[in-house]
Amino acid sequence: MNPSKERGCEMSKKIFETAQLGNLTAKNRLVRSATWEGVATPEGGITPVGYDIYHELACGGVGTIITGFTSVSDTDHYIDGMMRLSNDALIPQYRKLVDTIHVQDVPVMAQLALGAYYPTSTAEPLESDDMTPEQIEHVIRQFVDAARRAEAAGFDGVQVHVAHFFFLSRFVSPAVNHRTDEWGASTQYRARIVCRIIEGIREAAPSLHICAKVNSTDLVAGGIEENEALELCRIYVEAGLESVEVSGNGTSVAGVRPGIGEAYFRGFGTLVAHELPIPVILVGGMRSGETTQSVLERTDIEFVSLSRPLLREPDWPTKLRENATSESLCISCNRCYNTPAHRCIFRLRD
């Protein structure tokens, strides 16, 4: 249980106040959730468009930034345009990115991810059932090495991506992982790969804050449901996890408006925040200052993260700080998925 609950403390949290995310100090409780951009070079380097995106976000008033999907592998070609922290030659480009963000007094975490495990650049991807123990250990090393590079580049933390049915999310899911060895067969064993990554990062890059993004539910037959998702979070905390962002396999719900369908992972986020002693970040459908403040005031959730609203208005945090009743202009049409750099269609028309 969250220690503040055990003490019977009532916390009156505000959006725009200095807040601690583990060892990170944020100027407010708004987090830019990792958002796919798809504008990196084939090697995973940062393009001028990429630098511009993060400069705009940092200037827009958000308290913390999590980068878009950043692969840990050179051979991962699950999706095009991925940023990567897969080799040391990329470190200077990411140091420049971090410096761009830090100028605005904004801490930044690299989202470390793997779309799928490709043994070589020309091989077909392997599911967990088909991997050898040596290949599983290889994945663990890839995540730990990427975290070491993130620390060298000046990142304040990393977020291990265990959501949205990318590789780690599939590995921990009973719908996909049917192994009967120490890497499967139970919730504890399926979680072992993530635990080993967390423990490895703590040893290799001790200055980094370690976050994870998790599914509240897999939304597939035989997959993770909320009870097991909570148990997985408990296991990750025991391994050293310091914060968690609550999401789900069904993301980017359409039709969300201020006061309509907002905060659609709030139920599970509230449960996790009550039960676990680490900060919880809630993502999913925040479109108004009223709902965002309500989540903070009425639950133990400590941070709220934004994705699509910042595609529409990178400066919405500033607008919200100046007007507590501000509402996002994002209409949740999801047409940003089909635009260059996933730009909002309305901004493209401006």
What number is the average pLDDT over the span 67-80?
A: 96
Contacts of 287 (CB under 8 A, 6+ apart): 256, 257, 258, 259, 262, 309, 327, 328, 330, 332
Q: Please give the Cα distance from 93 to 184 (Å, whole number).
A: 38
pLDDT score, position 337: 85
Task: Give the model confidence (pLDDT) of 184-202 as tens digits.
Answer: 999 999 999 999 999 999 9
pLDDT of 66 over the 50 cut: yes
Q: What is the DSSP letter of 156?
A: S
What number is the average pLDDT over the span 116-138?
A: 97
Torsion sign across C-alpha atoms 213, 162, 150, 67: negative
CA distances from 129 to 76, 179, 225 (A): 18, 6, 21
Model confidence band, residue 7 (pLDDT cutoffs 50, 70, 90): very low
Give me the domains of the chain, ranges plus CATH numbers.
3-8+15-349 (3.20.20.70)
3-state secondary structure labels for all residues of 167-221: HHHHHCCCCCCCCCCCCCCCHHHHCHHHHHHHHHHHHHCCCCEEEEEEECCCCCC
Q: Please give the Cα distance from 306 to 320 (Å, whole number).
A: 13
Model confidence band, residue 6 (pLDDT cutoffs 50, 70, 90): very low
What number is the average pLDDT over the span 340-350?
A: 84
pLDDT of 125 over the 50 cut: yes
Contacts of 89 (CB under 8 A, 6+ apart): none
Averaged pLDDT of the chain? 94
* pTM, to two decimals: 0.95
Model confidence band, residue 249 (pLDDT cutoffs 50, 70, 90): confident
Query: What backbone torsions phi and psi does residue 111 show, to the nearest 5 degrees?
Result: -80, 110
pLDDT of 14 over the 70 cut: yes
pLDDT score, position 3: 52
Alpha helix ranges (H) inside 32-132: 48-59, 91-102
pLDDT score, position 11: 60
pLDDT score, position 1: 62
DSSP string over 3-58 = HHHHTT------SSS-EEETTEEESSSEEE-------S-TTSPPPHHHHHHHHHHH
Q: Please give the Cα distance from 241 to 233 (Å, whole number).
A: 9
Residue 31 is which amino acid? V
pLDDT above 70: percentage of residues in the chain: 96
pLDDT score, position 254: 85
Cα Rg of the chain, angstroms: 19
pLDDT of 4 over the 60 cut: no
Other CB atoms closer than 10 Å to residue 330's CB: what's the count? 24
pLDDT of 157 over the 50 cut: yes
What number is the average pLDDT over the span 15-24?
A: 97
Q: Please give the Cα distance from 232 to 171 (Å, whole number).
A: 12
What number is the average pLDDT over the span 98-111?
A: 98
